[in-house]
Every structure is written in structure tokens, then in C-alpha cells.
A and B are shown apart, each in its own frame.
Chain A
Amino acid sequence: MLKGLVLCGLLMATWLIVQAAVFHLVAPRKAFASMLALFAPTLPLYLVLYVMTPADLGFLPPAFVGADWRLGLVNGLILQGLLFLTAGLFYSHADRSITVRLLIELARAPQQRLTLAQMQAVCGVEVLMADRLEIMLANRFLIAQGERFVLTPKGWIGGSIGVAARKILRMKAL
């Protein structure tokens, strides 16, 4: 099992470095699509590395080699998928968090102070929704028909997931 973890860790560390370089050198407009495109090749690469390397990777103690190799393979794949998901969520937190944006605006304001009207002007609902609608259009969750926004099939699936989650979890907007 440890072999899969080591290989997965190495591949994810490499992917993170490459992805950070791409963000800085290319600044892709669709960040998640860029992350997915660069992450996808790591999956077959993991499989190839797993098959081609010895069970102990040449350095693991015998006590860490022993479980069924298929189990180690699948376990590493699951971990790789979860680490990618976590990286995507990290990106989303850093890029989209409303609270962090609000605090950054306060920290940059003269005397580090803003009135409610000023806060609403720099990161209120109008500014925020303009950003979010643009992102949803770019990612094809919505399409514009005249002055109205309509769900695409992808957006319909997203909305259905949201409806189900809100029925089950009952979290409140306030």
C-alpha cells in the first residue's frame, strides 16, 4: 500500500509545481479546466509507474510490502483523486472566498476602514454577482437568451444537485 502512496505523492507534488508555473506563466482563463487538463495525464502515468517499478520501490522496508498489489494500486488512485479535489477546493477558497475578499478590501482601504456603502460598492452583491454570472456563462452552466439567463444541461444537473443537497442538509442562508 505504501508504494502507491509514495508514487501518488511524487506525482501530485510534480503536478503542483507544474500547475503553479502554468498559473504564473499562462494565467489560464478557465483555471479548473487547466488544472484538470494537467492532472489527467498523471493518472495513466501513475498506472505505468506502478506496474513498472518493484514492489518495494528499491528502498521500502519489507514490513511495508505485502498486501495485494491491486489494493495498493487502487488505494493510490483514490488518494490521487482526493488530493486533486482538495487542490481544486483550495484554489476555489483562495480565488472566490467572499469573506477573504472583504477583509483584503478593508486592509487596503485608507485607515483600514470602510463604511457599509463602501463595502457594498467594492464587494457587494452587484459586484459579486456580476463576477459569478460571468464565470457561470464562461463555464457553460448558463447561457444568455436576450436579457435572460437560462440553464444549460450542465447547469440543470448542477442545480438539481443543489436542490437535493439543500433538502438534505437544511443549512440556512442566515
Chain B
Amino acid sequence: MKGLVLSAAALVLLVIGSAVALRFYRGNKEFRVFLGAFAAAVALYAGAFWLSAPDLGFLPAGWRETSAPVDFGNGLVLLVLMFHGYWCFSYFACLSPSMSVMVALRLWGRDGMTRAEALAIQGSDQPVNLIFQRRIPKLVQGGYVREEAGGYRILAPGERVAALGSFLKRLINAQVGA
């Protein structure tokens, strides 16, 4: 139970800390903020587990796990899974094209939107729409693709990611080009 309590406390601090940090972060590599907050939360969890009393000063005797490694490992696994869920939720809620449509419709009221208006949210009227404006520079900087003569060529790291992606799509029987 000690691991569960400390894991929950670390997650709360992680969420608050990352939300505050994102308000001050000016770059476009938000994953660094999330990973930094996660690393701090894991360190805090491990430190608190090491330093605190087995009953945390308030847990009943029956709620104390008899094996400290099991208690610690269980709390850590839960923290990792909860962080992964929070991280994915944050990206989906803030950046997903589907969520952008729902957010716009929620703010616009009952009139709804046409397909053209849904496309315009993603910058379809711009030469390079939002989807590519965010991703291509990151793929170039990360060494996954190279810009050459008005086009883009995939590089070895990009090929590996594409191969992994194709494999995962086959695993779930999804269309490889979708």
C-alpha cells in the first residue's frame, strides 16, 4: 500500500509540475517537458519510498505489504502506466486533428461545420498545412528524413521506424498505408 500511496502522490505532482512547466516552455519539443517531469516523479517516488516509514505513519498494519521490493515495483509499474496514459491523453487532447474538430464544434455552438471548415482548422489553405508544419522539421532535425531538391528522402533511422510501424500495423491487422 505504501507504494500505491507514494505512486499516486508522485503522479499528482507530475501532472501539476508538467502543466506549470508547459506554461513557461517556449519550444516545440513538449515531450522533453513530459519526460523531465516523469524522471523527477520517479526520483521523488524512489526517494520517498527509501526514506519514509513502512506504514507512512498512518497505514493500518494489515495494509502493509510484507515484501518491500514487491511494494516498490508495484508502485513503480503503476506510475509508469499512469504517466503513459497522461502523456498520450495530453497529446491527443491538445494536438489531435480529431480533437481539434470536436473542440472547435464545442466552442462554435450548435451550427456545426462543413468539411471545408474542418479542413481549414488544420491549415488546409496554407501551402504547408499544420500537420506537416509540425512534423517535417522534427523529422529533418531528428535525422529521419533529408530535404533535397524540392522533396524529402527517407534516411536509415526513418526506415527503421517505418519498418517497425509496418510490423505493428500488421500485428493489429491495420492497413499498412493508413
A94 to B88, CA, bound (A): 13
The B153-178 residues at the A interface (CB cut-off 8 A) are 153-154, 158-159, 161-163, 165-166, 168-169, 171-174, 176-178
Contact across chains for B162 and A71 when beta carbons are under 8 A apart:
no
Contact across chains for A107 and B154 when beta carbons are under 8 A apart:
yes
The A76-94 residues at the B interface (CB cut-off 8 A) are 78-79, 82-83, 85-86, 89, 91-94
Q: Say yes or no: A106-B145 contact (C-beta < 8 A), given A113-B152, A129-B115.
A: yes
Contact across chains for A104 and B165 when beta carbons are under 8 A apart:
yes
| 0/1 interface trace, chain A 99-130, chain B, CB 8 Å (1 if under) | 11111111110011111101110101110110
CB distance from B33 to the nearest CB of A (A): 9
Contact across chains for A124 and B90 when beta carbons are under 8 A apart:
no
Contact across chains for A148 and B114 when beta carbons are under 8 A apart:
yes
Contact across chains for A113 and B148 when beta carbons are under 8 A apart:
yes
Task: Report A-chain residues with C-beta under 8 Å of the C-beta of B91.
Answer: 171
Question: Is A48 located at the chain interface by the 8 A CB criterion?
Answer: no
Q: Say yes or no: A124-B101 contact (C-beta < 8 A), given A63-B66, A107-B162.
A: no
Contact across chains for A23 and B172 when beta carbons are under 8 A apart:
yes
Question: Is A150 located at the chain interface by the 8 A CB criterion?
Answer: yes
Contact across chains for A149 and B112 when beta carbons are under 8 A apart:
yes
A115 to B128, CA, bound (A): 12
| 0/1 interface trace, chain A 1-16, chain B, CB 8 Å (1 if under) | 1100100000000000
| 0/1 interface trace, chain A 157-171, chain B, CB 8 Å (1 if under) | 011111101101111
Contact across chains for A173 and B130 when beta carbons are under 8 A apart:
yes
Question: Is A141 located at the chain interface by the 8 A CB criterion?
Answer: yes
Q: What is the total of A-B residue contacts with beta carbons within 8 Å?
A: 253
Contact across chains for A66 and B93 when beta carbons are under 8 A apart:
no
Contact across chains for B135 and A155 when beta carbons are under 8 A apart:
no
Contact across chains for A107 and B98 when beta carbons are under 8 A apart:
no
Contact across chains for A106 and B132 when beta carbons are under 8 A apart:
no
Contact across chains for A82 and B81 when beta carbons are under 8 A apart:
yes
A85 to B78, CA, bound (A): 12
Contact across chains for A174 and B158 when beta carbons are under 8 A apart:
no
Contact across chains for B158 and A95 when beta carbons are under 8 A apart:
no
A129 to B77, CA, bound (A): 36
Contact across chains for B90 and A126 when beta carbons are under 8 A apart:
no
Contact of B112 among A131, A132, A148, A159 (CB under 8 A): A148
- Listed from nearest, the 6 A-B pairs whose CB atoms lie closest are A159-B106, A165-B93, A66-B66, A100-B165, A148-B112, A159-B102
What are 16 inter-chain pairs, A to B, with CB distance below 8 A? A1-B74, A71-B62, A79-B81, A94-B172, A99-B139, A103-B165, A119-B132, A124-B132, A125-B97, A135-B98, A136-B102, A150-B110, A151-B102, A151-B106, A158-B102, A165-B93
